Structure formats: structure tokens, C-alpha cells
């Protein structure tokens, strides 16, 4: 992929730039589509139709219309806000989310960076997201925003533990931190003769590990039932209360980018990444992008489905769930997976 | 200019600039956020030196862990809505002499040392070596650090519960 770009582009920095921008194309297209899709999912779950008017077929261009509208909105900064930090926060949030795409293999020919500490880097860079939310909450100089930010800090620090432990239980099996190698190990069609060689089918405990990872990932992405940082019925809008126009849109974009990111990481760790589910059928670099994105879209759909099905947890329930249930189960599961790995 | 040299100077400027903001800012929260850029810039330096593991650890431990807790602490403990820190200069003469002495020592060391420049090796993957060393040669320190951290966690939990316990009896008796 890099050689291909080098043969067409004149300068090395340009190659790096274009190479780094490839996930952005996918993300922007996806975000437009996902916001419309979420509204359709919400509508159908609640026995409505959702947006139907803009663009003809089932209102497919609703998001484009919304984007054009939001571009024209005034960028309001509250008088008593900390101007610089207030303006900076959305961009740090997006940079933190986008930075994590550097280690996600989108296809067998595309990964941003082949560093040997891929998953570790992923865990580290996503923690910048919570800092940007604290920054937004504090700089807004608003009670709701600050409360939302504090909740985010507490929630992220707590839920990082189960996320890291479940990721570690996958690493125990693969023996490498590089996500490209993790994906390559899941090629082929061997488990029980008919199942794809994905890690989730590796042992019964892996299924549990995935469920735990998914719960923790929902909390890390601040999605319902864990969307306490922005719970609209008690905190108005949480950390984004004071934001408007494009800056709010960047936060919205970050939320959806994060959703895809955690789904992609789940797909890479448990569902074979860019590998085709049918062995060598529809396999290859271009199909790889198709498979990794469409598998991730299935997980994104499940997250949306949960959002419109489950009620929100209370703060103390959230902490109880994490420290008293998730973390002990995660550790026991990690030990069981390690044992399974030693015995078989 | 080469890309790596450009990145080096970019991050050097970022580190120096944000460190200056951190020291001179009168707003403690601004200082904390400036610290984030300093620490992240240092992580970028490690990455430029092909020390990927150290870079990511720097990011995870300092930016993701310690800084979040610092911010959390600052926001929870500061009363009266983030008063400006009172900065004034005390002990001007001893401080000046002391910093001069440190500066002279550092510059002398920098000039008198014969720097050994290792040839550039691309793509040195370090994490496997670190892991193997931790599990063989440095097994005992590794385990001791683990026990130490466990003790710290248990101590923190104990302190937190004791405070809650002291508050409870009056409400129970009254």
C-alpha cells in the first residue's frame, strides 16, 4: 500500500499524509450514514419510521441536510468560559479517537503503523479522550458540564480496568500485541472443521471475555446504559451543554468515531478482523476493508439497539457493576483462559 | 528538512512551550492541561527514538492515569471556584545562585561528556525483550513492585472506608 502511494505521489511527507488520511475517508462517510442509521433504528424500535422526507428513499440524505444546517450555525462561546480550552477540547477529543486508528488493521494491506505495542497504544491513546471531556466540562464554566466531566473521569478510570483485562485475555492466546499479527493468526477455517478460526471460538471462556469486553467498551464509549457524562434528563447535556455549531458537531462526530473504533477493536480481537468468514471466498485486500467495516457495523448496530432498549444506570450502580462484578469476573476469566491455553 | 528532524523540533517546541505555560500560569487547571502537552510531547520523543513501549507507557501512566487523577483532585479539592494561585518571588538571591549553579553544572556535563552516537537501527521491536527480561532476570523486582502496588491499593481502600466509618456512628446513634 505504501509502495503503491510512493509510486504515484512526489514527496515522502505527502505519502505519509495520504496514508494517514485513508481511515478518515471511511470515518466521515460512516459518520454521516451512522447518524441517519441510528435515527432509523431508534424509530423502528419505538414503532415509528424515523426520518423519511429528505432525499427520497427513506430519508437517506437527512444527515447531509443536518450537516449543511450545522455548518451555518453560530459558534457560541459563553462569556465566562475559558475561551482557549473551550475551543481546543473538541479537537483533542477527535484527535484522540482518530489517533487510535493508527494501529487498527483495516485490511491485510493497510495498517497505519506496525508498532509492536499496538493494543497497548490503543489503550493509552483512548485515555486522552477522557481528558478532552474534562477539558470541555471545566472550560464551559457550567455546573452541568463540570458534573458530566467528573463523571467521565470516574467512569473512564474505573472501566479501563475490565477493558484492559479482557484485552489481555486475548493477548494471552495470541502472544503478540500487534493487531495485524493478531488478525493474521485468525486466518483459515479450522475450529471444529466448519467454524472460522476466530478467537471468539477459541474456548468457551472467550465468549464470556467478549461479553465483558463489550460491556466495558460501551462504558468507555459513554453509550447507553452508561451515558452518564451526558445524561440529558439529569445533566441537560453533560460536558457538551455549552457547545454549539461546528464544535458540537465535532463532539458528535467523535462519539460515532469512537463507536466504530471500539467495534473495530472488538472485531479484530474476537471476530477475525479483515478475514472473510467463508475461508478463502471473497478474501483479499479490498474485501478485507469490506469485511472489517461490515463486521464492525454489526457491533455498532448492537450498540444502537442496546441504546434504545435499556434504561440508564445510576452512578452508584455504575460503579458497583464495574468494581464488584465486572473486574472480579474479568480476572477469574483471565486465569481460566490462561489455564486453557496451558492445557490445550 | 527531513521528516523526523521536523517532528523532533516540533515536539521540542511543544514541550518547552507547554512546560513554560505550566510553570508560569496562574491558573492551576491551565497548568495541569499544559502538563498534558509536556508529557505527550515526551512520549513522542520516545517514539522518535524507537522506544515504542516506553512511549506508550509514558502516555498510559502519565497522561491517561496520573494526569486524570491530578485534574480530578484539583477539581474536587479546590474551594471557592479555582482561585488564582498567588505567585510571588521569595528568597531571590539564594534561588538565583542555586539555579545558576545547577545550570553551570549541567552545561559543563553536557560539554565535557563524550557522546556516543549509536548507529541508527530501524524498527527495533523492544516489547518482547522487555517481557522476557521481566520474567527471567528481573523476576524478583517485578514481583516486589506488584506486591507494593497491591499494598498501596489495599491501604487506599482501608483509608477510604475508615473515613466513611467515622462519619456513620453519630447518625446511627442520633
CATH classification (class only), B1-85? mainly alpha
- pLDDT, tens digit, for every residue of A27-40? 888 888 888 888 88
Q: What average pLDDT does the structure give for chain B? A: 81
| HEC sequence for chain A | CHHHHHHHCCCHHHHHHHHHHHHHHHHHHHHHHHHHHHHHHHHHHCCCCCCCCCCCHHHCCHHHHHHHHHHCCCCCCCCCCCHHHHHHHHHHHHHHHHHHHHHCCCECCECCCCCCCHHHHHHHHHHHHHHHHHHHHHHCCCHHHHHHHHHHHHHHHHHHHHHHHHHHHHHHHHCCCCHHHHHHHCCCCCHHHCCCCCHHHCCHHHHHHHHHHHHHHHHHCCCCCCCHHHCHHHHCCHHHCCCCHHHHHHHHHHHHHHHHHHHHHHHHHHCCCCCCCCCCCCCCHHHHHHHHHHHHHHHHHHHHHHHCCCCCCCHHHHHHHHHHHHHHHHHHHHHHHHHHHHHC
Picking from A131, A148, A168 by the largest number of B CB atoms within 10 A of its own CB, the best residue to mutate is A131
Picking from A124, A127, A142, A331 by the largest number of B CB atoms within 10 A of its own CB, the best residue to mutate is A124
**Predicted ipTM?**
0.77
Q: Do B59 and A124 touch (CB under 8 A)?
A: yes
Q: Are B43 and B63 in contact (CB under 8 A)?
A: yes
Q: What average pLDDT does the structure give for chain A? A: 83
Q: How confident is the model at residue A11 (pLDDT cuts 50, 70, 90)?
A: confident
Of B157 and B125, which is predicted with more confidence?
B157
Binding-site residues on chain A for chain B (CB distance < 8 A): 12-13, 16, 82, 85, 114-117, 120-121, 123-125, 127-128, 130-131, 134-135, 138, 146, 149-150, 153-154, 156-157, 160, 177
Domain-wise residue ranges, chain B = 1-85, 126-174
Q: How confident is the model at residue B109 (pLDDT cuts 50, 70, 90)?
A: very high
Q: Which of A86, A89, A108 is nearest to A97 (CA)?
A: A89
Q: Do B64 and A177 touch (CB under 8 A)?
A: no
Amino acid at each position: 500500500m505504501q509502495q503503491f502511494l510512493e509510486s504515484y505521489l512526489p514527496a515522502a511527507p505527502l505519502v505519509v499524509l495520504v496514508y494517514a488520511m485513508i481511515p478518515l475517508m471511511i470515518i466521515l462517510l460512516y459518520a454521516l450514514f451512522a447518524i441517519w442509521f441510528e435515527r432509523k433504528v431508534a424509530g423502528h424500535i419505538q414503532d415509528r419510521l424515523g426520518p423519511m422526507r429528505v432525499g427520497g428513499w427513506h430519508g437517506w440524505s437527512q444527515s447531509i441536510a443536518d450537516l449543511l444546517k450545522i455548518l451555518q450555525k453560530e459558534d457560541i462561546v459563553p462569556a465566562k468560559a475559558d475561551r482557549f480550552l473551550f475551543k481546543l477540547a473538541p479537537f483533542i477529543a477527535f484527535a484522540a479517537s482518530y489517533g487510535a486508528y493508527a494501529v487498527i488493521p483495516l485490511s491485510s494491506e493497510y495498517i497505519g503503523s506496525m508498532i509492536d505495542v499496538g493494543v497497548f497504544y490503543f489503550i493509552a491513546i483512548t485515555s486522552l479522550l477522557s481528558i478532552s471531556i474534562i477539558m470541555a466540562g471545566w472550560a464551559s464554566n457550567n455546573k452541568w458540564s463540570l458534573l458530566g466531566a467528573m463523571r467521565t473521569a470516574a467512569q473512564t478510570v474505573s472501566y479501563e480496568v475490565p477493558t484492559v483485562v479482557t484485552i489481555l485475555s486475548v493477548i494471552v492466546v495470541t502472544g503478540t500485541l500487534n493487531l495485524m499479527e493478531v488478525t493474521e493468526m485468525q486466518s483459515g477455517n479450522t475450529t471444529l472443521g466448519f467454524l472460522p478460526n476466530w478467537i471468539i471460538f477459541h474456548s468457551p471462556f472467550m465468549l464470556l471475555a467478549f461479553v465483558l469486553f463489550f460491556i466495558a467498551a460501551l462504558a468507555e464509549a459513554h453509550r447507553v446504559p452508561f451515558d452518564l457524562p451526558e445524561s440529558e434528563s439529569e445533566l441537560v447535556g453533560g460536558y457538551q451543554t455549552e457547545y454549539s455549531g461546528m464544535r458540537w458537531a465535532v463532539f458528535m462526530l467523535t462519539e460515532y468515531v469512537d463507536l466504530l473504533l471500539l467495534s473495530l477493536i472488538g472485531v479484530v480481537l474476537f471476530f477475525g478482523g479483515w478475514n472473510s468468514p467463508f475461508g478463502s471466498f471473497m478474501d483479499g485486500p479490498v474485501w478485507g476493508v469490506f469485511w472489517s467495516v461490515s463486521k464492525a457495523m454489526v457491533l455498532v448496530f448492537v450498540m444502537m439497539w442496546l441504546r434504545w432498549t435499556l434504561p440508564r444506570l445510576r452512578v452508584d450502580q455504575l460503579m458497583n457493576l464495574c468494581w464488584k462484578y465486572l473486574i472480579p469476573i474479568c480476572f477469574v476469566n483471565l486465569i481460566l483462559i490462561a489455564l486453557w491455553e496451558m492445557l490445550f | 528538512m527531513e521528516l523526523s528532524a521536523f517532528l523532533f523540533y516540533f515536539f521540542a517546541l511543544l514541550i518547552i512551550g507547554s512546560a513554560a505555560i505550566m510553570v508560569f500560569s496562574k491558573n492551576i487547571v491551565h497548568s495541569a492541561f499544559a502538563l498534558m502537552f509536556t508529557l505527550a510531547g515526551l512520549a513522542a520523543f520516545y517514539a522518535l527514538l524507537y522506544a515504542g513501549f516506553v512511549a506508550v507507557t509514558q502516555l498510559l501512566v502519565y497522561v491517561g492515569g496520573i494526569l486524570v487523577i491530578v485534574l480530578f483532585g484539583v477539581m474536587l479539592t479546590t474551594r471557592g471556584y479555582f482561585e488564582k494561585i498567588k505567585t510571588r518571588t521569595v528568597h531571590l538571591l539564594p534561588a538565583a545562585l542555586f539555579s545558576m549553579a545547577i545550570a553551570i553544572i549541567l552545561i559543563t556535563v553536557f560539554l565535557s561528556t563524550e557522546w556516543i552516537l549509536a548507529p541508527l537501527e530501524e524498527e527495533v521491536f523492544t516489547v518482547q525483550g522487555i517481557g522476557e527480561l521481566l520474567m527471567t532476570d528481573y523476576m524478583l523486582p517485578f514481583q516486589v513492585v506488584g506486591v507494593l502496588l497491591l499494598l498501596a491499593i489495599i491501604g487506599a481502600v482501608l483509608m477510604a472506608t475508615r473515613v466513611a466509618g467515622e462519619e456513620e456512628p453519630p447518625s446511627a446513634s442520633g
